[in-house]
Amino acid sequence: MTLLTIGAFARASRLSAKTLRRYDELGLLPPARVDPVTGYRYYDRAQLERARLVAWLRRIGMPLARIRSVCELYATDADAAARDIRAYWARVEAETAARRDLAAFLVDRLSTAAARKDPSMSRLTAPLGLRCAALSDRGLVRDTNQDSVYAGPRLLAVADGYGGGGARAGSAAIDVLRPLESVSADPGELLNLLADAVQLANRAVQDLPESGTTLTALLWTGSQLGLVHIGDTRAYLLRGGDLFRITHDHTVVQSMIDDGSLTEDEAASHPRRAMLLRAIDGTSSPAHADIHLHEARAGDRYVLCSDGLFTVVPEADLRRVSATVPDPDDAARALVTLANEAGGPDNVGCVVADVVEL
């Protein structure tokens, strides 16, 4: 067996000798042989594949504990290792988006402060507001309607309740948010208020056994929107004619899409497509919601909806109606009509809101 010195192995693997010694101490990449007298480390060429995998995973920022797990998977099941890497990167992208939104807020806040100190830096911009509509419909199959919707001066919300107390759970979640419409807070504090509201909503449904709700809501600050999202209700943004989904479903099938074990087309007919991984159900403490800031622009249109809409109405039709029906109330009615024309198998909740110059 031809062994490489630690220096030669470091050059071949793109890992420094110092890093290799550390990985040996951690049991992540032990050498093939250690000289009992000098303590010098020697490596087998066959270890290069694992070492290079470790180096690549470190370059994408994966923690060492997760790298160990991926390497163990790779030794027996390369496909499983690939799925684990996909799942890790999907989470990184979601967390990066949240940090990007916060960074944008900080830049805007500091720039605004600088403009106040130096009037020559200030820019004249028209104040913005919301023009919105909300509509909920029982659909054509369900006996009751457990979707709750709200569109106020500053708050937009859709909640999809489930279980015997689902309607009450959805309404309770939105009711917790409504007092925030009258609260004056900068965007940074707004995120804290939304996080606190989710926990209050979680406690509000504790007395509703085997019931819970999803929640997707936007709270207007005057120039930005604070987004709170948990479950599989969705928020879309229409900007410049293009439609973007700005929420990530917290469902079993979405996690399978993220790890590469399921395609979007397969997810549409999967028997567990409605199974939630996160919800406001009074049992999870704390309830883990996605909370972000979104910059608002005049001409933006936001569409919030329950799965009774997006599971039966193709995204192309959602974009078409959102882009071509100018009045928010007419657009909400047109989208609900499309859901019912597709069979109306579930309750439908929909909010449409335009960002307009005042």
Half-sphere exposure (Cβ direction) of 290: Cα atoms closer than 13 Å: 32
**How far, CA to CA in Å, does 328 sit from each of 148, 199, 290?**
18, 31, 26
pLDDT at residue number 114: 57
For residue 357, which amino acid is it? E
Answer for the pair 170, 160: CB distance below 8 angstroms, yes or no.
yes
247: closest CA among 218, 273, 275, 269?
Answer: 218
Least trusted range by pLDDT, from 50-59, 100-109, 185-194, 216-225: 100-109
Please indicate, yes or no, whether the overall pTM of this predicted structure exceeds 0.85. Answer: no
Tell me if the bond preceding 286 is cis, omega within 30° of 0. Answer: yes
The burial of 48, by beta-carbon neighbours within 10 Å (0-12 exposed, 13-18 middle, 19 or more buried), is given as: middle
| pLDDT per position as a tens digit, 83-100 | 889 888 887 877 777 666
pLDDT at residue number 164: 95
| pLDDT per position as a tens digit, 121-179 | 444 567 899 999 999 999 999 999 999 999 999 999 999 999 999 999 999 999 999 99
Which residues, at least 6 apart from 11, have a Cβ–Cβ distance to it below 8 Å?
A: none
pLDDT at residue number 98: 65
